[in-house]
Structure 1
Amino acid sequence: MPTRGLLLLDVDGPLNPYAARPHSRPPGYETFRRTRSGAWFGGRDARRHKGLRVWLHPGHGSLLTKLADEAELQMAWATTWLEDANRLIAPAIGLPDLPVIHYPPSDLEADGTGGRRWRLDGAWKWPSVAAYAAGRPLAWLDDEHSDPLFARARTAFDHGRSSSPTLLCHVDPSIGLQPVHLDEIRSWAAALPLA
């Protein structure tokens, strides 16, 4: 089915309100844990394991799918979770497998524990998203669009997309995805030219 543009999804911030009060799960969300070994636990098992706490709302998948269908947008992951977004996050919130935007391996660094992590400056995300979009209209749900740490990468991104419809939809990581974000994307998409 032809689309009019892209709807890019970040996990941490928009779907996982990681900055919410640490011991107060937001209403409607479920707790998951990802251990250092990569194991994933939900439900009661999430309380029995240590690891990265992830809060996910099981209704977000249907809301995002409905929005994408109505607005004729193709969803894709723009997240450091990469393929794990399809393996872990998508089933937890009710999304199908989605295309995944990849970032250059050169943007990985040692994490101090023998593992690797994405560079903290996050600039790698901007050129990868621009390359993936290839001039197509895009709406991007993320919590780091206005972070001054990424100012140079954001400026290059904006310059490169100056003739392409772009909505950088900021999501506060302490509250996560809200109806106002969906409305903002819906309004933006309504103004796109017909495909």
Structure 2
Amino acid sequence: MNSSAPRARLFLDVDGVLSAPALMWGDTRRLTVTVKLGGGLAVQYLVWHSPSMLAAIDSLREEFDVELVWLTTWLEDGAIGNLVGRVGALSGGRWLNIRRRSGRAGELPLEWKRDQILEDLTVTPGPFIWVDDDQVPMFGAAVAASVDVPSLMIAPNPELGLTRAQVDSIRAFLTDNP
């Protein structure tokens, strides 16, 4: 690997990607992750995950020296750390900023993930993969067109999550874009 070349990045979402009710990996497990919100409040999330899927992602990270970049609402309140600890995989990833929720409904701006990826790629351009079940269909083409680097956009079916075929497409992309 050329040490001066930027590492490929994997921008990764959780819900509908790593956690989905009908994962097709054959070893789906369900667990509850508790996130403490402060002031004695906590929220519990039900997570479906596949140890073999997570191992496949970690294997790609190691084999191709891919930088894992979390881009998910699980960044709020440190929830991603709880999740990673509970599933025992995908450790050491970098976190992008998540905007504060605003308005009466406490909504995040629709384009916050798009903006974070573009900002990150402006600072350090390089090949990247964006895996997100709902944001890639909305903003993937615009993000790819906005940067002059190789990219792969993957939008899993949110019921099925990331599939073996999609992991294979990540492998093919990384092979072609070392």
Under TM normalisation by the shorter chain, which class is it? 0.7 to 0.9
Query: Which amino acid in 2 is paired with 1:175?
Result: L
Query: Which amino acid in 2 is paired with 1:85?
Result: I
**If the length of structure 2 is used for normalisation, what is the TM-score?**
0.77
Superposition deviation, residue 104 in structure 1? 3.0
Aligned residue for 1:158?
144
Aligned residue for 1:136?
126
Structure 2 CA distance, aligned partners of 1:156 and 1:176?
A: 23
Structure 2 CA distance, aligned partners of 1:29 and 1:90?
A: 17
Query: Which amino acid in 2 is paired with 1:183?
Result: D
For residues 47-97 of structure 1, give each alpha carbon's deviation from its aligned partner in whole angstroms, at most 9, with x where no partner exists: xxx953221223333211101122221111111111321222354142213
Distance 1:9 1:98, change over 3 A: same
Q: Out of 92, 98, 107, which is 1:97 matched to?
A: 92
Q: Is the 8 A contact 2:136 2:154 kept in 1?
A: no
Q: Which piece of structure 1 moves more, 2-11 or 64-73?
A: 2-11
Question: Residues 1-195 of structure 1 correspond to what in structure 2 (within 5 A)?
Answer: 2=3, 4-17=7-20, 20=22, 27-34=26-33, 51-82=44-75, 83-105=78-100, 108-110=101-103, 112=105, 116-119=106-109, 122-134=110-122, 135-147=125-137, 150=138, 153-154=139-140, 156-161=142-147, 163-192=148-177, 194=178
Superposition deviation, residue 35 in structure 1? 5.8
- Larger % of helix: which? 2
Q: Is the 8 A contact 2:12 2:68 kept in 1?
A: yes
Distance 1:8 1:154, change over 3 A: closer
Distance 1:92 1:146, change over 3 A: closer
Q: Is the 8 A contact 1:80 1:118 kept in 2?
A: no
Distance 1:110 1:32, change over 3 A: farther
Superposition deviation, residue 140 in structure 1? 1.3
Aligned residue for 1:44?
none
Aligned residue for 1:42?
none
Superposition deviation, residue 186 in structure 1? 0.9
Tell me how large the CA RMSD over aligned residues is.
3.0
Aligned residue for 1:46?
none
Q: Is the 8 A contact 1:15 1:177 kept in 2?
A: yes
Identity %: 23
Superposition deviation, residue 111 in structure 1? 5.8
Structure 2 unaligned segments of length 5 or more: list them.
none
Structure 1 unaligned segments of length 5 or more: list them.
40-49
Query: Which amino acid in 2 is paired with 1:159?
Result: A
**If the length of structure 1 is used for normalisation, what is the TM-score?**
0.71
